[in-house]
Structure 1
């Protein structure tokens, strides 16, 4: 009979389970799929010997997340950190290259190098305070108010229509927009600007690492730690009712790594009407179409430096990307979409047979879309890497609807588990100093639908677990380090 039941084994569910087990409680984790991991699974999706990340592939938050720092993830698995965090090809054989070195990046940006330094260097100096605020203290008193002020001023500058002021070329604006588009929202906006600037400064700090062997390594390290501390994992078990789960297990607390829509379906009989209305009014964002490729060789990028970047943003200029994203938000498929591409095997030779490569790309589409965008993605890559098509040995596409069927947290293919807007970063799914604690006794919500929102950081689950430890068990947060 466990003290704690955890529903869902994505990074947040695993983080919650590990935290509770480390506190000395008995934990049972339930996963509907046949394997743990959620958005951080790795599998042979195209051909034998080609290992693809099913969803998340590059992890800027893996080194910066307060949870993963406490868990000492970098000591448990091999995180390959590139010298080039990301690249943004433009027409004419040009590209914006974000080196991990701020100085190298500035030197390569020509007339806008000084503007990049003015934007990023103050954030780099106060990165700890920015991470503390954005990942843990959004609605609480920040530890470093000056860091929040520096970050906030830049979010305002890049999140409003005056976002081009101070730039002399099209390269830096395109780079900033490509990173901000990770948030899958309106451009410009404060939410996408904040997400983009955090990712942007992390590119010059810990970098954007790729786990050796695939993202599954993160899930496996968490699962191994859970089991080592007495936890149990039950896969292929879909939880349909929280009340029935508590009755069957006797658990004093349940932490759910699910969306508000799923929580309403599972726990509507034990939640008050006002809270249910908040769950039911929670909005979901656009979906993604994702395609994985097995390649016979490296992508033949025209612009120097792009082949060294595991992450590549395609879509052209700032204006072109902003227009494409506005089309998606209006429910249309853009003719020339923004494409986020990942080539992990430029760092990790274990992903494919010798000399071969894996390549992963997605584009944003209206929620629930059934359109296959493989040809559009190939065309976007070919524009900057002629001959890419000739390297394709096999491909596997997943529509937005497919993504939603694969992972119940991806409503309509929304991999962010909720629209990324300023309102929904503050109300996720309720405005509260403790939004992880629901009105039902012993029930906690710890997913990407809670603060701090999407990304592989484990924070939603960790913060939910800390709330559960305090309110359901009267226990302090445990040490998560390897020696504990």
Structure 2
């Protein structure tokens, strides 16, 4: 699609007398910046992307840490949304050579000695293991699976329009209300099922239960039986590289190791998109922002932090329950009551010795990630915002509790505190990998309450990061929707460009 019409003609720059020499500058190359780049380049615009780091991808980076042969996922490792979101369904990663490996066990949750919850990709196998809660689990999952694309599209939307599938919307509303409150039918039955769903809810990173966490529960739990919770073969960077290849094939240009500190540095672009945190946007925009809008941005809240640990180990994690060893993702948090208590303390800024922890051993599903007796293990813990503690001892002990002997397999380890996470990626303010507290209000009205959440008061300036709807995760939808907003407003283009492989 080639954009035509008078709106598409170059005009004088907003901040100088220069005539723009490029159509679009994108600041940041996380998944949303890349998604915006793909969409705008496909629309026929000349796109340039700026990345402060030496590698693109933001949360989609994979690189050696301890050993040149072993690659570690630096932030995200497991990608349900890369298999489910509307952007990636159209982009078609498989057709571009990115293989999303779907484990037989989507996620697992050890609870205590001899007790663990296991969610298989196969729904019936899961129900059979859950015993008396099996029928209840089936009644929850089957309707969601029947309307899965619509449920995903409603949650991963701009949150500003009525849903097309009324049945899916009603189903989502009811289940979100149930699982986002104390009304969950699993709250007092079958410890395994209750712990499993609460572990999924904890991905919302905040006090539980909540309606925002209820929506996360409904979304992620049913996807475990649909597209799955896959890991990209070779690591998360494979997704970023596929998107970058598409952008360059349409003439896009990347400027690597090129931080942008002020909008004047991209004054040669007609449109500017920021894949940055709200704080980052405020810094780059400076005193250009209208005072009322700046005050609203200043009220934007951040949530708890994530503290990351990378391990280099000699053997697979020796879980007490062998079925857990088949899982792509493992949640460590104990019972539903334990998780609710820990997440509440963390949200209040109180440090604990047993935080909620996520663990991934990628070589379980991707054996090439291991070389000889060396393999990566990825883990992170939920901690208070800005926590400065080295998370390594806590996470190691947490894994050891359910996998005796794990410590003996460790060859090397590296802990990154929540405070240090922000230095690694400025979008993770205080270690908040959700780019803003996942309250109900901020889930829907992020970053500020307005009809178009991507457009800013500055002419031609758009936000496209996870600080805009639909929020965190590698789905590309914030960038995609921001790009569509600009195409409508700046060019009068109502038809989205095709994202399918050429």
Q: TM-score range by the shorter chain?
A: over 0.9
- Kindly state the Cα deviation for residue 14 of structure 1 after the two structures are TM-superposed: 0.5
Counterpart of 1:295? 313
State the Cα distance separating 1:137 from its structure 2 match: 5.2
Cα distance in 2 for residues equivalent to 1:285 and 1:316: 22
Checking the alignment, whether the CA contact within 8 Å between 1:59 and 1:209 is kept in structure 2 is: yes
Deviations, residues 64-97 of structure 1 (Å, cap 9, x unaligned): 1100111111221111111110001111222111
Is the CA contact 2:360–2:378 (under 8 Å) kept in the aligned structure 1? yes
Is 1:89 aligned to 2:110, yes or no? Answer: yes
Distance 1:309 1:355 in 2: 20
Residue 79, structure 1, aligned to residue 100, structure 2: yes
Cα RMSD, aligned residues only: 1.3
The 8 Å contact of residues 315 and 339 in structure 1, kept in 2 or not, is answered as yes
Assess if the C-alpha contact under 8 Å between 1:288 and 1:415 holds in 2. Answer: yes
For the Cα contact (< 8 Å) 1:11–1:457, is it kept in 2?
A: yes
Asked if 1:479 is matched to 2:498, the reply is: yes
Secondary structure of the 1:62 match is: helix
Post-superposition offset of 1:374: 1.1
Are 1:17 and 2:34 an aligned pair?
no
Q: Which residue among 405, 423, 428 is the counterpart of 1:387?
A: 405
Question: Equivalent residues in 2 for 1:255-274 (5 A)?
Answer: 255-274=273-292
Answer yes or no: is 1:51 the counterpart of 2:71. yes
Partner Cα distance (2:291, 2:94) in 1: 43
Q: TM-score, normalised by structure 2?
A: 0.93
Partner of 1:342: 360
Does the 8 Å contact 2:186/2:194 carry over to 1?
Answer: no
Shift of 1:163: 2.8
Alignment of 1:211-226 (within 5 A): 211-226=232-247
Q: Which runs of 4+ in 1 moved over 4 A?
A: 164-167
Mapped partners of 1:359, 1:277: distance in 2? 42
Contact 1:16 1:461 in 2 (8 A): yes
> What is the CA-CA distance between 1:167 and the residue it aligns to?
4.8
Pick from 431, 442, 453: which aligns with 1:435? Answer: 453
| Corresponding residue number in structure 1 for 2:213 | 192
Alpha-carbon distance between aligned partners in 2 of 1:8 and 1:137, rounded to the nearest angstrom:
21
| Residue 403 of structure 1: aligned partner | 421
Residue 267 of structure 1 and its aligned partner are, at CA, apart by: 1.4
- Distance, in Å, in 2 between the alignment partners of 1:212 and 1:60 is 14
Shift of 1:245: 3.0
Aligned partners of 2:223, 2:290: CA distance in 1, in Å? 41
Cα distance in 1, alignment partners of residues 185 and 209 from structure 2: 10
* Count of residue correspondences: 480
Alpha-carbon distance in structure 1 between the residues aligned to 2:185 and 2:154: 26
Q: Does residue 355 of structure 2 align to residue 313 of structure 1?
A: no
- Kindly report which structure 2 residues correspond to 1:70-469, keeping only aligned pairs within 5 A, or say none: 70-76=90-96, 77-136=98-157, 138-163=159-184, 167-242=188-263, 244-247=264-267, 249=268, 251-469=269-487
Q: Distance in 2 between matches of 1:473 and 1:32?
A: 29
Q: What displacement does 1:473 show?
A: 2.4
Give the Cα separation in 2 of the matches to 1:246 and 1:308: 48
Shift in Å at residue 352 of structure 1?
2.3
Q: Which runs of 5+ in 1 are unaligned?
A: none
Alpha-carbon distance change, 351 to 165 in structure 1, aligned in 2, over 3 angstroms: closer
Normalized against structure 1, the TM-score is what? 0.97
